Amino acid sequence: MAIGSRQSVATGGAHPGSRPMDPQLLRNCLKMAVAVFITAAIAVWSERVAFIWYPLLAVIMVVDDQDDQTVQAAMGRILGTVVGGLVTFLVHTALSGWQGVLVSLLLMIPVLRAFGWQASLSTAGLLSVMFLMIPSHEALNWSYVFNRALDTVVGCVVALAVGLLFWPRTSYHELQAADGRLRSCLAAQLQRYEQWLQQPPSTPPPPPLNVAPLAADLARIETLVNRERSGPRHRRLRASGWERRLTLWRQAQQHWIAWERLLGGLPAGLAGDGQPLAGAIRALSRQLAGETQPTPAREPAAWRDLAQARGLPLLPLLALAEEQRPLHASLGAIGRSLPPC
């Protein structure tokens, strides 16, 4: 028992099947906890605890939305919430219940879009739904609307301030990090292929690259690009070239998977230097490193000689050589354009 305890302490209490915590999830949890604590403290200090769920729900929705943390986006969120409360009050002077909520949302959406405050639709709609908690229609007066809108705005301000001051957005740093991981992963696999080709011909090739990390990093780049595209910095995104780079990575991923599938389907006997595959893999490594060259011409004679010398099927070799051409071009396009800042 003591030995097991010492082993648990030595390993940091980690179990063999445990997974490391996602940094993005930890960041969001800390931001949520700090924002909720500050909002609750403000409500207690100002003696507005009776309707504390208004600012707390606003904090949860603003933090959960993951919208762009800039001063412009923050002002749009706050002003949009105020406009949403005003629209809700005007509608509820004539309608109540779910009919009033429906009409409020139908009027709120075009108004917020017209001012460019669509990011505040969640908190503005929250006001409309929570006004249903009023026991009587007459209780929905100007004083109630002003105070509840103020409570909700306080929650928005706290959540946005916590994000701006303590955890600012670093989308372009994350883009560069994901891009670097993709290039490092492909470069390491190409290096393994180069080492394999220096072994005897009967040596089996290394296993194909695990595409799960590639897909995760590519999905992260796509998420960040979409976030910047819909945010106030969309012009900077267009000038940076990340949208085109995302397209290039998608193409490279497709061609890489097809190329490795063809390579893995060939029988043993392909290893050994001084043959067209060795030159092709070295060319792919240079393309990815930025030493780009034009796509080489087709050389069916060299692959035919390799098939005859090693007793390999000719058609799969020619298919492999053909798939190398778009892969060579895609990696060259990625290598020519360094990750923009």
Are residues 292 and 208 located together in one domain of the fold? Answer: yes
Q: Which of 120, 142, 165 is the last residue before a domain boundary?
A: 165
pLDDT at position 326 is: 92
Rounded to whole angstroms, the Cα distance separating 227 from 222 reads 9
Six-digit token string for 160 = 């946005």
Are residues 102 and 213 located together in one domain of the fold? Answer: no
Are residues 147 and 296 located together in one domain of the fold? Answer: no
Are residues 111 and 206 located together in one domain of the fold? Answer: no
Are residues 189 and 290 located together in one domain of the fold? Answer: yes
Say if 178 falls within a structural domain: yes
Rounded to whole angstroms, the Cα distance separating 153 from 160 reads 10
Task: Give per-10-residue mean pLDDT for the chain (341 aa).
Answer: 39 49 74 87 84 78 58 66 77 74 82 77 74 59 75 82 72 86 92 87 84 88 81 72 89 92 82 76 88 84 86 88 91 79 54
Using alpha carbons, select from 273, 264, 304, 307 the residue that is nearest to residue 200.
Answer: 273
Say if 17 falls within a structural domain: no
Using alpha carbons, select from 37, 83, 36 the residue that is nearest to residue 63.
Answer: 36
Say if 288 falls within a structural domain: yes
pLDDT at position 14 is: 46
Say if 7 falls within a structural domain: no
Rounded to whole angstroms, the Cα distance separating 145 from 151 reads 10
Q: How many CB atoms lie within 10 A of CB 275?
A: 18
Which DSSP letter does residue 109 get?
A: H
Q: Which of 119, 139, 165 is the last residue before a domain boundary?
A: 165
Are residues 224 and 131 located together in one domain of the fold? Answer: no
Q: Which of 113, 131, 165 is the last residue before a domain boundary?
A: 165
Radius of gyration of the chain (CA): 29
Residue-by-residue DSSP string for 43-55:
HHHTT-GGGTHHH
Q: Which residues contact 220 (CB under 8 A, 6 or more apart)?
A: 174, 178
Are residues 111 and 196 located together in one domain of the fold? Answer: no
Using alpha carbons, select from 239, 46, 296, 237 the residue that is nearest to residue 155.
Answer: 46
Q: In this structure, are residues 105 and 143 in contact, taking their beta carbons and an 8 Å threshold?
A: no
HSE of 262 in the Cβ direction (CA atoms, 13 Å)?
19
Q: In this structure, are residues 331 and 325 in contact, taking their beta carbons and an 8 Å threshold?
A: no
Say if 186 falls within a structural domain: yes
Say if 341 falls within a structural domain: no
Task: Give per-residue pLDDT as tens, 172-221.
Answer: 888 888 899 999 999 999 999 888 888 887 788 888 888 888 888 999 88
pLDDT at position 91 is: 79
Say if 4 falls within a structural domain: no
Going 31 to 32 to 33 to 34, the CA torsion angle's sign is positive
How many structural domains are present in the chain?
2
Are residues 123 and 205 located together in one domain of the fold? Answer: no
Are residues 190 and 327 located together in one domain of the fold? Answer: yes
Rounded to whole angstroms, the Cα distance separating 39 from 159 reads 8
pLDDT at position 47 is: 81
Say if 65 falls within a structural domain: yes
Please count the helices (runs of H) and the strands (runs of E) in the chain. Answer: 14, 0
Rounded to whole angstroms, the Cα distance separating 307 from 330 reads 27
Task: Give per-residue pLDDT as tens, 243-280.
Answer: 888 999 999 999 999 999 988 888 877 776 657 888 88
HSE of 74 in the Cβ direction (CA atoms, 13 Å)?
19
Are residues 220 and 150 located together in one domain of the fold? Answer: no
pLDDT at position 1 is: 40
Rounded to whole angstroms, the Cα distance separating 326 from 295 reads 8
Are residues 290 and 179 located together in one domain of the fold? Answer: yes
Domain that holds residue 125: 23-165
Are residues 225 and 149 located together in one domain of the fold? Answer: no
